[in-house]
Amino acid sequence: MNNIMIGRFVPGSSWVHRLDPRTKMIVTFVFIFVMLFASSWATYALSAAFVILAIRLTQQPFKLYWDGLKPIFWLILFTVVLQLFLTPGTPVVFHVGPLQVTWPGILNAIYVMIRFTLIILMSTIMTLSTPPTSIANALESLLAPLNKIHVPVAELALMLSIALRFVPLLMDETQKIMNAQKSRGMSFSTGGPIKRARAIVPLLIPLFVGALQRALDLANAMEIRGFKDAASRTKYRVLLYGRQDVVAFIGTLIFVLIFIGIKISGV
């Protein structure tokens, strides 16, 4: 489990770490949106350069990001293979039985791979440089307008941050219960599908019971510390846009403008 980088926060004090979480979130969404329009070598090269620059600014080694990509390698490969065989066009490069691989198919496959990789890298930059609470705070702040249509944004954000807080604990607990039941002879690897599905019950019930107990305890602890409702609270971590956020937005704007320029000139 240790090598899943997506969603993991790596503490640091780099330029990217210090950006307002809202800035990082907006830039990431803008980038993903723009990537949908990438269609030529020039646009992909530009986007890759943008991501590489951002990675450098996190002051984390490339290897960390590379490790993060590994677990989803198969997902990328699957998409690439789909593109490779299912893109019609000419010239046909070679046949594999009823399937044919075309030149546009090869190009498409490479593009999809790059697009996928860049989007994942960009999202990793955001989660790697932003503590989970800040992500929840940023969401709350960015989605605040939804309050007007009675979406309980503050509650949702608090729920999200508590859920994130309990993830390592529940993973730990799963491991412990698994060990306990394995010691009592639990096995997932024998018997038919029904037997295997039943084998998971001794794992799930203690997990649910434990999670419920934690939830009750946590509710008591929150109540005792004066929690009434999520909306009427002040914030310890106040979100403030600073100089570096302006720089980040201008940088992103320049990236988008050049991107559009390339698209228009048809390179």
Partner 1 sequence: MAITFEQVNFSYGAGTTLANPILHDINITIADHQVTAIIGQTGSGKSTLIQHLNGLLKPTTGQVTVDDLIVTNATKEKQLTKLRAKVGMVFQFPENQLFANTVLEDVMYGPLNFGYQTDEAKQSAQSALKMVNVAENLWQNSPFELSGGQMRRVAMAGALASNPDIVVMDEPAAGLDPKGQAELLELVANLRQSGKLVVFISHQMDHVVSVADQVIVMQDGHVAVQGTPADVFNRDIDWFKSVNLDLPRAGQFAEQLRANGVSLSRRPLTLTELATMLNEEHKHE
Partner 2 sequence: MTQAITINNLTYQYDDHELFDGFNLSIEAGEWVALVGHNGSGKSTLAKLIVGLIVANGGDIDVFGKRLTVDSINDIRAQIGMVFQNPDNQFVGATVADDVAFGLENIELPSNEMPQRIDEALHTVGMENFKEREPHTLSGGQKQRVALASVLALGPKIIILDEATAMLDPEGRASIMKTLQNLKAQFGSELTLITITHDMDEAALADRIVVINDGRLIIDGNPDDVFSKSQTMHDNGLELPFAGELTARLTVKPKKYLDERELIHWLSPSNK
Residues that bind partner 2 (CB under 8 A): 11, 131-133, 161-162, 164-165, 168-169, 172, 213-214, 217-218, 220-228, 232-238
82 binds, among partner 1, partner 2, none (CB under 5 to 8 A by kind): none
67 binds, among partner 1, partner 2, none (CB under 5 to 8 A by kind): partner 1
Region 39-78 residues binding partner 1, contact defined as CB under 8 A: 63, 67
Region 147-176 residues binding partner 1, contact defined as CB under 8 A: 173, 176
Nearer to partner 2, 92 or 215 (CB): 215
185 forms part of the interface with partner 1 (CB under 8 A): yes
132 binds, among partner 2, partner 1, none (CB under 5 to 8 A by kind): partner 2
**Nearest distance from residue 150's CB to partner 2, in Å?**
22
Nearer to partner 1, 183 or 234 (CB): 183
> What does the chain look like in DSSP terms, one character per residue?
-TT--TT------SHHHHS-HHHHHHHHHHHHHHHTT--SHHHHHHHHHHHHHHHHHTT--HHHHHHHHGGGHHHHHHHHHHHHHH---SSEEEEETTEEEEHHHHHHHHHHHHHHHHHHHHHHHHHHHS-HHHHHHHHHHHTGGGGGGT--HHHHHHHHHHHHHHHHHHHHHHHHHHHHHHHTT--SSSS-HHHHHHHTHHHHHHHHHHHHHHHHHHHHHHHHTT---SSS---SS-----HHHHHHHHHHHHHHHHHHHHHHHT-
